[in-house]
Amino acid sequence: MHGKKHEGHKNKRNMKNILKNAENAEELLKLTSDTMILLDRNGICVDIAVYNVDLWFLKEDRLQGKNILRLLPPVTYRQVYPEFEKVLTRREVSSRNYELAIGDTTYFFKCIMRPYEDMVLCQYRDITERSQRKLKLEKTNRELNEIQKAALIGRWQYDSGKKSFCYTGHSGVMCTEEEQEILLEDYKTHILPEDREVFGKWLMQNLQGDMEASIDYRIHFRKRVFYIRLKTFSYEKQPDGNILLEGYIQNITDIQQRRNDINLLTHAINNSTEDIFAAHEDGTLVFANRRFREHHNIGVADDISELNIYRIDMNTPGGNFWQGLLHSLKKGEKRSGFVLYNPLPDHPEVLAMEGSAYWVTSDKGEAILWGFGRDITQRIKNEQQIKRFSQILDKTIENLPAGIVVKDIRSGFKYLYRNRESYNRNIPLKEALGKDDFDFYPFDVAQEKRTQDIEIARTGVEKHWITEEHDQNGKSIFLDKRKIRIESDDFPPILLSIEWDITEMERMKRELLVAKEKAETSDQLKSAFLANMSHEIRTPLNAIVGFSRIIAESTDDEERKNYYDIVEANNERLLQLINEILDLSKIEAGMVEFTIAPMRLHLLCNEIYNALKFRCPMGVELVYEASDEDIVIEGDKNRIFQVVSNLIGNAFKFTTNGSVSYGYRRKGSEIEFHVSDTGIGIEADKLSKVFERFVKVNNFAQGTGLGLSICKTIIERLGGTISVSSEMGKGTTFLFTLPLSESKKETAAKQKETAAKQKETTDGQKETADGQNKTSGTSLNASGNTEKSDTVSGSREEPQELQEPQKPEASKAPTILIAEDTDSNYVLVKAILGKLYRLERAKDGMEAVTMFEELHPELILMDMKMPNLGGLDATKIIRELSPKTPIIALTAYAYEHDKQAAIDAGCNDFLTKPYTQEVLKQMIKKYLK
């Protein structure tokens, strides 16, 4: 016995060591342990022991020696790798659940990672089944929760010992997802007073075990009244005698309100202004509201179930109408909008009623037809009035000089209205309604319109522009267009397009602009002409006035003769200038008659050669290139002589070596004349302006700049044309044509017509100019002679200077620098001041600046108009070098703005040509004290 007891104790000791015995470790691991995976620092599987899992991807042969982290799907890798790094670096234990998606299957596992030496030991535990159950349970709970939310249901529990309610749920009244508790007495304060007694009796019955009935009552919560329904489904009596009741609570406010709404709806239907009825298929009435009863003489107490819809009275539409309505209306459909005119003979004031009807299946499964009739008498009257006004408006819009289009923005910009547009003006309104731009216009035009419409509809910004288009006949028209988005609370947004035909207005506007520009140009030309004439007249006049006084005071006969030659040359220049102006005025006014007669061109060209060969500059040869000597034309010999002479004279002025050649040749039915030189040429950008009047290409050449304009006028009056070509440094060629043979009668008629046209041109000031003639400085007079240069003899040679008066002592006399390009003007100043001061001359502005720096004169007399550099620019440069040296403007420009320009440039004073020697001397003394 004792042995048995001893053996039992021994067995018990052995049993206690089973779990600690190393021999049992493998078997115990298989039964209880997770799968073990040992990873090195790079995630390579060093060793693996698979326990309690049978998954195809979790096998030793698949994972041994592989980087397991890289085998994980990207989503799982992004979750696992940070934990792996944390275990390695921080030597912490990580325990987390992960999701593993392989193919179409998703697995769930828990991974416990522990640091093991410099590696990580991972315990893999498959929790897929548990996770799926958990997900399914969570889904079921969510569905139940959503059902409770939709049904406004919550749970409650009442403890009779505590006399308190605990509740949770989604009733929307007091209940929330978190459990709350409230004492019975506090809860009763929310119940409306008239419902508290009923609630108390119901609770007492449930505490006694009677749980059959539910209760509906009202509570006041957050300033609102709610309808509540309670039902008990659990009764538990505890050992201490307390009773626990459990049930559901439902917010039935909406249900109760619907019942109230039905009652309210019934009241509203009875008081509706429409006729409302319901009837079976055989016509037996089921319902009729008050309005229907009044119209059909049915008393309030009458039983409508005994009446038939089409037999109510003798004036009601018969059975045929009722049967037609039944056949036209299928079950489940609604028919609306049908109109009955004069439906109630007993009520003639009702012009028409608009009806609608539909089938409703009753709770008994019977099909009942509900009908509604609306008195549309007032609408008909309004429509008639609208149609009347619409017709008036349509006629008004149709006769407006404007295209009006209205588009519905929400229906894809389809037309609601249109009368006409610049394109497709003949589209009737009926054809356009319900269509859009793509139905009538080319695709590119329609697309452009649609892009505009979308932008304006989106932004609401009005677009207004003027455009030139073409009507159906291809005629150019001008349109003032405007597109506007119109918003209203009464109708959907629309797009209104208005286009006014402003063709006549635009043309008139353009004509006015042209007239305005012509007027402004004419004014500018007149101003430029007057300024130029003032300068050109004052320049010779200065010499005439100045030398006339000096001649009177001189006792030296030779000196007086030289001065007289200068006066005579300037007299001739002034006379030629006046003749040229008068000649041009007469030609343009049509006051000069052309003498048309047969003439031999060869004889004319010889005369020109004999007249001009002695005026040819030194180093230049005049060449007549003879052609057919027998050619005879109808023309004005004197005027043709004048044109050729002027062109040759211009060539003389700007040709210093080589030749000036002229001649003619037959060219079809015309004769072509040419005058060519080897001179300095004309710049290309100035060729288009050479024949414009009142201007000169070279402002430093003497003359009015009218010579070539006179030539052009004469040639055109004779029925020809004139042109010019040139190359800088190589020469210039003028060409003009005249008709070869034309009867005197035809020539006279053309001459009269041309004169009339040119008179219009003169009156309208049609030519434009910029104050700068574009020829190479060529200028000629109207009498056929070339302009004389700034010499006393009219040739290019410098005038023979007068005998030098005795100069003052060089060391004492102040030095005066005279900037003057006209020789006679310099000779005049020299005659007046030469005995008193040391005079030095610069022939242009550039030379004046250079000589100022060399001589440092005490005073400067500065002409304004000089070649290379004008007087104003020269003054500005000198003022930068010396702000104190007196500079007196000595110029033929006499306007106030000319004086102000000189003062602004830096001149100390201003003296206008012509001047007397006393005035000049006094001016000099003012600054040289």
Take residue 624 and report the two structure tokens written for it: 């007549």
- pTM, two decimals, is 0.34
Instruction: Say if CB 864 and CB 902 are below 8 A apart.
Output: yes
Average model confidence (pLDDT) across the chain: 80
pLDDT, residue 903, reads 93
- Is residue 126 predicted with pLDDT exceeding 70? yes
Q: Give the side-chain half-sphere CA count within 13 A for 393.
A: 9
Mean pLDDT value of segment 510-535: 77
Give the pLDDT of residue 674.
94
* Rounded to 5°, angle at Cα 463 from 462 and 467: 160
Confidence of residue 405 (pLDDT cuts 50, 70, 90): confident
Match 């003949």 to its residue by tokens. 426
Q: What's residue 421's pLDDT? A: 59
- How much is the average pLDDT of 74-83? 92
- HSE-up of residue 447 (Cα within 13 Å, Cβ side): 3
How far apart CA 149 and CA 229 sit, in angstroms, is 15
Beta-strand pair 105-116/119-126? antiparallel
- Which has more pLDDT, 38 or 343? 38
Helix axes 557-589, 823-833, angle to 10 degrees: 140
Report the pLDDT value the prediction gives residue 113, as an integer from 0 to 100: 93
Q: What is the pLDDT of residue 570?
A: 79
As a whole number, mean pLDDT of residues 532-539 equals 73
Reported confidence tier of residue 861, pLDDT bands at 50, 70, 90: very high
Instruction: Count Cβ neighbours within 10 Å for each residue of 818-848 and write b for 16 or more, e otherwise.
Output: bbbbbbbbbbbbbbbbbebbbbbbbbbbbbb
Q: Most confidently modeled of 73-77, 314-318, 539-543, 743-747?
A: 73-77
CA dist 264 → 50, 86, 270, 651 (Å): 74, 70, 10, 112
User: Once rounded to an integer, what is the mean pLDDT over residues 401-426?
Assistant: 77
**Displacement of CA 123 from its chain's centroid (Å):** 69
Q: Tell me which long-range contacts 871-875 makes (C-beta under 8 A, separation of at least 24).
A: 871/819, 871/845, 871/902, 871/905, 872/901, 872/902, 872/905, 873/845, 873/905, 874/819, 874/845, 874/846, 874/848, 874/849, 875/902, 875/905, 875/906, 875/907
Of all helices (H) and strands (E), which one includes residue 494? Answer: strand 494-501
Q: Tell me the one-letter amino acid at 299.
A: G
Say which residue, 258 or 492, is predicted with more confidence: 492
Per-residue tokens: 661: 């050649």
Whether residue 31 is predicted with pLDDT greater than 80 in this model: the reply is: no
- Pick from 221-230, 380-389, 589-598, 656-665: least confident: 589-598
Report residue 705 as tokens.
């700049």
Q: pLDDT at residue 297 above 90? A: no
Q: What is the model's pLDDT at position 282?
A: 86
| CA-to-CA dists, residue 518 to 481, 526, 657, angstroms | 30, 12, 42
pLDDT bin (cut points 50, 70, 90) of residue 793 is: very low
Paired tokens of 543? 């010499």
Question: Higher model confidence: residue 764 or residue 614?
Answer: 614
* Least confident range of 292-301, 439-448, 506-515, 571-580: 571-580
pLDDT for position 28: 58
869-899 pLDDT, tens digit each: 899 999 999 999 999 999 999 887 777 888 8
| pLDDT score of 82 | 93
Residue % of the chain over a pLDDT of 70: 82
> Residue 164: exposed, middle, or buried by beta-carbon count in 10 A (0-12, 13-18, 19+)?
middle
The pLDDT, as a whole number, for residue 857 is 94
Q: Is there a contact between 635 and 601 (Cβ–Cβ < 8 Å)? A: no
Using DSSP's 3-state secondary structure scheme, residue 91 falls into coil
Q: Report pLDDT digits (tens) over 561-598.
A: 788 778 777 777 776 677 667 666 666 666 667 888 89
> Hey, is 564 helix, strand or coil?
helix
Using one digit for the tens of pLDDT, what is the confidence trace for 699-741? 555 555 677 888 888 898 888 999 999 999 889 999 999 998 6
Angstrom distance (rounded) from CA 293 to CA 275: 8
Q: How far apart are the first and last CA of the chain?
A: 166
Query: Range with the lowest mean pLDDT among 521-525, 771-775, 842-846, 896-900?
Result: 771-775
**How is residue 114 written in tokens?**
């522990």
* Cis before 914? omega within 30: yes
pLDDT exceeds cutoff 70 at 765: no
Structure-block tokens of residue 26: 């493998």
What band does 136 get if pLDDT is binned at 50, 70 and 90?
Answer: confident
Cβ atoms of 911 and 919 within 8 Å: the answer is yes
802 against 214, higher pLDDT: 214
DSSP 189-242: TTB-HHHHHHHHHHHHHHHTT-----EEEEEEETTEEEEEEEEEEEEEE-TTS-
Beta bridge partner(s), residue 622: 660
DSSP-assigned letters across all residues of 747-803 = HHHHHHHHHHHHHHHHHHT-----S---SSS--B-TTSPBPP-SSSSSSSSPPPPPP
Does residue 687 or residue 809 have the better pLDDT?
687
**63 CB contacts (<8 Å, ≥6 apart)?**
37, 45, 48, 71
Q: Return the structure tokens found at 663.
A: 């001649």
Query: In 460-556, where does DSSP find H-type helix?
Result: 503-553
CA-wise closest residue to 550 among 889, 793, 830, 862? 830
What pLDDT is stored for residue 773 in this prediction? 34
Is the pLDDT assigned to residue 806 strictly greater than 60? no
| Most confident listed range (291-295, 522-526, 621-625) | 621-625
Residue 270 has pLDDT above 70, yes or no: yes
Both structure tokens of 870: 């004008």
3-state percent helix, strand, coil for the chain, nearest multiple of 5 = 40, 25, 35
Res 398 pLDDT > 90: no
Average pLDDT over residues 343-361: 85
Query: What pLDDT, in 10s, does the model give residues 174-193?
Result: 877 788 899 999 989 999 99
Distance, CA of 573 to CA of 593 (rounded, Å): 26
Placement of tokens 């100069």 in the chain: 807
Query: Which range among 22-36, 72-86, 662-676, 679-693 shows the weakest confidence by mean pLDDT?
Result: 22-36
Domains of the chain (ranges; CATH) run 33-134 (3.30.450.20), 152-257 (3.30.450.20), 272-380 (3.30.450.20), 400-501 (3.30.450.20), 595-764 (3.30.565.10), 815-927 (3.40.50.2300)
CA 56 centroid distance within chain? 68
